[in-house]
A and B are shown apart, each in its own frame.
Chain A
């Protein structure tokens, strides 16, 4: 390990002059205020009665209004399991799908950075033909498993015969762009097909449906973000490990991943946040058992208009765990890295 130095964190090791520091703090605190004030408003709204919310702006508890825990009581005791059940669902679905997504995504990202792919047009063409056959089978009234099997059979057949003759193809960048392009269609257009998909698999209203969908939906983001981090990992380390006989898997696990920890942590946080907060897909894929918290938040706007006080409580208890996680993981983003390449 001697050849690798640990660094304390930031880039600028030059000392900062006093005026620059003052200006920096002014800017930082200004943005802190911008960020925190809305959250403060949530916090005080959660302590108000409806009358105080509708009556005009009241800012400071005990001075402007008498705080009450009515809303908290409603969420935790009146709603009880209607709060805790979605909460558990959100935690399970969020963490599981994020873990899977980050794992699969960083593998793919690493592969796209360090390996060269050439997907032949022949293979793509075979796939399209196979897909067309599957679609025709299903449209013609055949059951979908038959269509699936037929499609796969045709695909393998074509791939091993005709497709080999085509030399030209798409490379790594094209694969990456294809992946990210899967996020371009708004969920409103894809949610019904996904619903039917899981209905056929009898997986509606289960954790599995949400976990699988979120994994698929967020993989492109992980791939793109991790690609850049892996690119900044010095390739020399991997090369020397490879010369020592380490397998690609071992290099990935023992060298590349540890070096990309800040990126992994940042990416983990994003994907967790996305999965934690997703609304439309959760709405359609769940009904009684697997509902998640964003639905509970949105549901606070019903026939009587938004119930700000309940909504504020829900939002606060929703971001609690994510903030805790951010605080816990912040260390890793800040910790600095193994910098400096191999020396020898």
Chain B
């Protein structure tokens, strides 16, 4: 490979020169426009269509379909109407633990807001944005605490939030740990590198069926284990949290490799000199990690976690195949909720659920990026 050798060779012919110069001038557009146009073409249309669909009701007319505009009826049904228990859950009376958790989290929010308000970076826009974000986050926390830490039951929104929070954090910790282990100079590390990728390569539907085989308490491979602990009689998959656990284990199994390989590639691209210099300065492993490795891979971390959050919110295959959302509605995620009513031809209601999901993910995504991007950039 030669970098310096022949940059000018291209310019040799005379007809090429004006074209090339022109192209160079538009390089900014040439680089980014294909991607932007493709995404635009394939996102605007579905986005607008499904927004319109979420405000309407599907009917079949002679030889075709008709969409009847119904305003916000589909949303109202989810938030206030007969689907509210399904979507938001049922809240019970608050327990002391619930109150303590609420007080602690709200206190933290208040403290963060206060610190920002007294800090040097205060702007009106920033403050409004933060107050708004805190309000929405507070509402979500209230919902989670009221349905999970009480005698109530969580709706599909809360279940999805739980999936995302647990899955992504465990996946990140596992993926990071494995990446750190694998970058070491250990014999056989190339073997681990490939093996650890395997779960990601199976089609998600396939993983779901695979886990359905694995968690079977009567003929699955772990039968001796269940039998030993006396779990065959209570069948943990028919217990709400047991079933959710099964779904989460499957998701963690499948997607830890994603985080693993992104972080691995990020650590591999780190400049050596930094680490060597730190080691010469007498830093131990932990210090090297916290002072050098972690800040350096922070941009990759931000990205990979954001992608996992976005994809994690769309979890559908595992709960769909493993439990079909049961027992009851215990494992039903938002996308599965949308999918179930979509299959029953309630396309409008389904689009409304999808849009609620979009709103929540957008909120989480923007908050997350705004919270971490500056730090990643500063590092």
Residues of chain A with a CB closer than 8 A to B334's CB:
186
Q: What's the dominant secondary structure at chain A's contact region?
A: helix
- With an 8 Å Cβ cutoff, the count of chain B residues facing the other chain is 120
Q: Of A54-62, A76-84, A156-164, which stretch is located at the interface?
A: A54-62
A34: Cβ under 8 A from any B Cβ: yes
Nearest CB in chain A: distance from B217 CB, A: 10
Query: What A residues does B275 contact at CB under 8 A?
Result: 11-13
Closest to B186 in A: A24
Q: Which residues of B contact A (CB under 8 A)?
A: 1-4, 7-8, 10-11, 20, 23-24, 27-28, 30-32, 34-36, 38-39, 41-50, 53, 174, 177-178, 181-186, 189-190, 192-206, 209-214, 218-224, 253, 258, 261-262, 264-273, 275-276, 279, 293, 299-300, 303-304, 306-307, 310-311, 313-314, 316-317, 321, 334-335, 338-339, 342, 347, 350-351, 354-355, 357-358, 361-362, 365-366, 369, 373
Known interface pairs A36-B195, A41-B210; 14 further A-B residue pairs with C-beta atoms within 8 A, sorted by A's residue number: A11-B272, A31-B174, A31-B178, A104-B38, A185-B46, A185-B354, A224-B307, A245-B11, A249-B30, A270-B258, A276-B201, A294-B206, A322-B201, A327-B194
Query: Are the CB atoms of A180 and B268 closer together than 8 Å?
Result: no
Does A7 belong to the interface (CB within 8 Å)?
Answer: yes
A35 close to B (CB within 8 Å): yes
- Give the residue among B7, B42, B201, B219 with the most A Cβ atoms within 10 A: B201
How far apart sit A252 and B60, CA to CA, in the bound complex (Å)? 53
Q: A186-B316, A193-B49, A326-B201 are in contact. Are A104 and B185 (CB under 8 A)?
A: no
The size of the chain A interface, using a CB distance under 8 A, is: 125
Known contacts A41-B213, A189-B350, A249-B23: A57-B7 contact under CB 8 Å = no
Does chain B have a CB within 8 A of A75?
A: no
Q: Is the CB of A190 within 8 A of B50?
A: yes
Contact of A35 with B196 in the complex, beta carbons under 8 Å: yes
User: Which residues on B sit within 8 Å (CB–CB) of A263?
Assistant: 265, 269
Q: Give the 8 A-B CB pairs with smallest separation, nearest first.
A: A189-B354, A216-B42, A111-B31, A108-B35, A246-B7, A277-B203, A190-B46, A248-B27
A204 on interface, CB distance cutoff 8 Å:
no
Distance in Å: Cβ of B196 to nearest Cβ of chain A = 6
Q: Quick check: A28 and B182 within 8 Å, CB to CB?
A: yes
A68 within 8 Å of B (CB atoms) = no
A115–B265 alpha-carbon span in the complex (Å): 24
Considering the complex, give the chain B residue whose CB is closest to the CB of A32: B195
| Chain B residues with CB under 8 A of A105 | 35
Which A residues touch B41, using CB under 8 A?
A: 216
A93 within 8 Å of B by Cβ? no
Also in contact, A326 and B194, with CB within 8 A (given A13-B185, A115-B28): yes
Interchain CB contact under 8 A, B31 and A194: no
CB distance from A110 to the nearest CB of B (A): 6
Q: Which of A12, A247, A298, A333 contacts B20 (CB 8 A)?
A: A247
Any B CB within 8 A of the CB of A306: yes
Q: Does chain B have a CB within 8 A of A72?
A: no
In the complex, which of the residues B28, B198, B203, B293 contacts A323, with contact meaning CB atoms closer than 8 Å?
A: B198
| A71 interface hit (Cβ, 8 Å) | no
Partner among B196, B265, B303, B313 whose Cβ is within 8 Å of the Cβ of A184: B313
- Asked if B46 and A269 make an inter-chain contact with CB atoms under 8 angstroms apart, the answer reads no
Q: With a CB–CB cut-off of 8 A, which chain B residues contact A326?
A: 194, 197, 201
- Cβ-defined contact, A250 with B268, below 8 A: no
Question: A279 CB to closest chain B CB, in angstroms?
Answer: 6
Q: Do A212 and B193 contact each other (CB < 8 Å), given the known contacts A10-B268, A112-B32? A: no
If A183-B311, A255-B3, A270-B258 touch, does A219 touch B39 (CB 8 Å cutoff)? yes
On whether A184 and B48 interact (CB within 8 A), knowing A32-B192, A35-B198, A232-B269, the answer reads no
| Pair B183/A188 contact, Cβ less than 8 Å | no
Contacts of B306 in A (CB 8 A): 180, 224
Task: Given A13-B272, A108-B35, check contact A185 B47 (CB 8 Å).
Answer: yes
The complex places the Cα of A200 from the Cα of B361 at a distance, in Å, of: 31
A-B contact pairs, 25 of them (CB 8 A): A1-B2, A12-B185, A15-B185, A24-B181, A27-B181, A34-B253, A35-B198, A57-B222, A180-B310, A182-B42, A184-B361, A186-B357, A192-B347, A193-B50, A197-B42, A224-B303, A229-B269, A266-B261, A279-B317, A294-B206, A323-B198, A323-B201, A327-B194, A333-B193, A337-B269
B42, B48, B264 interface centre (most CB from chain A within 10 Å): B42
A245 to B21, CA, bound (A): 11
